[in-house]
């Protein structure tokens, strides 16, 4: 897969963050500075910064510029775990139902998150995970074909997508957000909840050392999921 010029800039800024050369709240080079440094147009530099903003890596302050986001808050708010291991750790039975595993033409927010143009093909999986036969997570995952070419050949009834991707494209960076939503008709069907029931939506962009791997939307019934955290003072 060829690397575009704005992706080169994006990867450069990410490497500075991962190496600790740019820390939380540090100022990020401006569009003009990046355009000059990489000999590209301001539009290209702006696209790179916008993709970092969309991924939660940076924030913008009107009149002051772009800054590295509060990485401690972003990184500690949600753990990245294998849901199968979490269920079995409780002594419960884990199972999954694969509703779809196919090629999908990305558009809108999905295409934007994956840095694709509308209509570009990705791999798509639609899977519901169960704890003792009770649906606890609806997983919709959009995977870049170039990064994981054998994705559609896997049997995700036997292993989770998390387990497979961790093997073939080890995580280097994760950007997550969580929001409250109400169950639509499809969520009612997948999760066996009542219409408009409160749910949690976790949206997650995962990257390996070679770049973006997948964008995932994970929906949890609010009554079957609890967020927790611990702090040492």
Domain ranges of the chain: 5-75, 78-224
Establish whether domains 5-75 and 78-224 are of one fold.
no
The H-or-E segment that residue 166 falls in is helix 161-168
The H-or-E segment that residue 85 falls in is helix 83-89
Domain 78-224 architecture: 3-Layer(aba) Sandwich (3.40)
Domain 5-75 architecture: Orthogonal Bundle (1.10)
The H-or-E segment that residue 179 falls in is strand 173-182
pLDDT value for 128: 97
75-84: per-residue pLDDT in tens?
333 556 789 9
Q: Identify whether the C-beta of residue 182 lies closer than 8 Å to the C-beta of residue 199.
A: yes
Band the pLDDT of 7: cuts 50, 70, 90.
confident
116-166: per-residue pLDDT in tens?
999 999 999 999 999 988 899 999 999 999 999 999 999 999 999 999 999
pTM for this model (two decimals)? 0.68
């Amino acid at each position: 897969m060829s690397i575009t010029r704005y992706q080169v800039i994006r990867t450069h800024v990410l490497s500075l963050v991962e190496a600790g050369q740019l820390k939380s709240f540090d100022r990020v080079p401006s569009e003009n500075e990046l355009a000059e440094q990489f000999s590209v147009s301001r539009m290209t530099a702006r696209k790179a910064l916008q993709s970092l903003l969309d991924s939660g890596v940076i924030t913008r302050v009107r009149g002051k510029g772009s800054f590295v986001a509060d990485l401690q808050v972003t990184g500690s708010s949600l753990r990245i775990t294998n849901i199968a291991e979490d269920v079995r750790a409780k002594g419960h039975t884990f199972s999954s139902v694969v509703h779809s595993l196919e090629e999908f033409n990305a558009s809108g927010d999905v295409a934007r998150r994956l840095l694709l143009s509308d209509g570009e093909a990705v791999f798509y999986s639609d899977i519901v995970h169960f704890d003792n036969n009770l649906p606890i997570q609806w997983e919709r995952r959009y995977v870049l074909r170039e990064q994981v070419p054998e994705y559609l050949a896997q049997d995700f009834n036997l292993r989770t997508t998390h387990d497979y991707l961790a093997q073939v494209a080890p995580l280097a960076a994760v950007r997550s957000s969580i929001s409250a939503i109400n169950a639509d008709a499809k969520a009612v069907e997948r999760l066996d909840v009542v219409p408009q029931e409160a749910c949690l939506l976790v949206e997650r962009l995962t990257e390996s050392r070679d770049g973006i791997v997948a964008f995932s939307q994970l929906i949890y019934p609010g009554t079957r999921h609890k967020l927790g955290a611990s702090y040492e003072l």
